[in-house]
């Protein structure tokens, strides 16, 4: 039976960032063209004829925001018939996590007139079905936190333990038990306590700074873990 198709393939890049003062944020672009001209959206675009999905999503992210990420993980394929008013479009979504402080000079180009980090709890109205895509990405990241260590890509090289605690609390959207959380993280063996104090931020005595033991971190990331938070 002969089948006629007129389907486009696109890619979208959900990029989570973290900064001490701003918490967890999402990288968005403002669209230059219709549909949804002037609206905020997840970076992405159509796959060219002779490029892989992985190359396409890295290219679109770089073109629209100036951000280059070495690894993006495939999230899900979105393909409802009416998700794009132009024509039938299937989008393969990817997500990644970065230290947002390293990508403050964003460069919007091609289909974007602006690029900006938005706090995860204060997002604008998004174009297409991008809110649904982002919701799924957040849920995937939360699930990922139970079987893979998260943080090395988001935090500075040296950090206060409270920053790691705040990162997990923000991503989970709930408080964590401070004492149990620290006990469980230390037990994983991925942190090294440094002989260096964190900057004073209140009346209490500042604690020592920490850094990730990269070898232990990478090993745990490859082997997997069970981490009840």
pLDDT digits (tens, 9 = 90+) for 115-161: 999 999 899 999 999 999 999 999 999 998 888 888 878 888 899 99
Task: State the DSSP H helix or E strand holding residue 56, giving kind and residue range, or none if neither.
Answer: helix 53-65
Half-sphere exposure of 31 (CA within 13 A, CB side): 17
Per-residue confidence at 25, pLDDT binned at 50, 70, 90?
Answer: very high
For the whole model, what pTM was predicted? 0.89
Q: Which phi and psi (to 5°) does residue 87 adopt?
A: -170, 175
Closest CA to 99 of 181, 186, 17: 17
Domains, the chain, in order of start with CATH, read 7-144 (3.90.79.10), 159-223 (1.10.10.10)
């Amino acid at each position: 039976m002969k089948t006629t198709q007129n389907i486009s393939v696109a890619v979208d890049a959900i990029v989570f960032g973290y900064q001490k003062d701003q918490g967890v944020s999402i990288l968005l672009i403002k669209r230059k063209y219709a549909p949804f001209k002037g609206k905020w959206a997840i970076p992405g675009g159509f796959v060219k004829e002779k490029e892989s999905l992985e190359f396409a999503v890295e290219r679109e992210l770089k073109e629209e925001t100036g951000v280059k990420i070495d690894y993006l993980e495939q999230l899900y394929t979105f393909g409802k018939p009416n998700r794009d008013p132009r024509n039938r479009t299937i989008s393969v979504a990817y997500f990644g996590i970065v230290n947002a402080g390293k990508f403050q000079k964003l460069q919007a180009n091609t289909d974007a007139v602006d690029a900006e980090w938005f706090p995860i709890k204060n997002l604008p109205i998004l174009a297409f079905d991008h809110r649904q895509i982002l919701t799924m990405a957040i849920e995937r990241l939360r699930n990922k936190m139970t079987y893979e260590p998260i943080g090395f890509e988001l935090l500075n090289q040296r950090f206060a333990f409270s920053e790691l605690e705040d990162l997990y609390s923000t991503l989970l959207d709930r408080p964590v038990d401070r004492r149990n959380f620290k006990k469980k993280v230390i037990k994983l063996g991925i942190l090294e306590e440094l002989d260096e104090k964190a900057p004073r931020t209140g009346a209490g005595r500042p604690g020592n700074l920490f850094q990730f033991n990269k070898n232990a971190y990478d090993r745990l990331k490859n082997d997997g873990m069970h981490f009840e938070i």
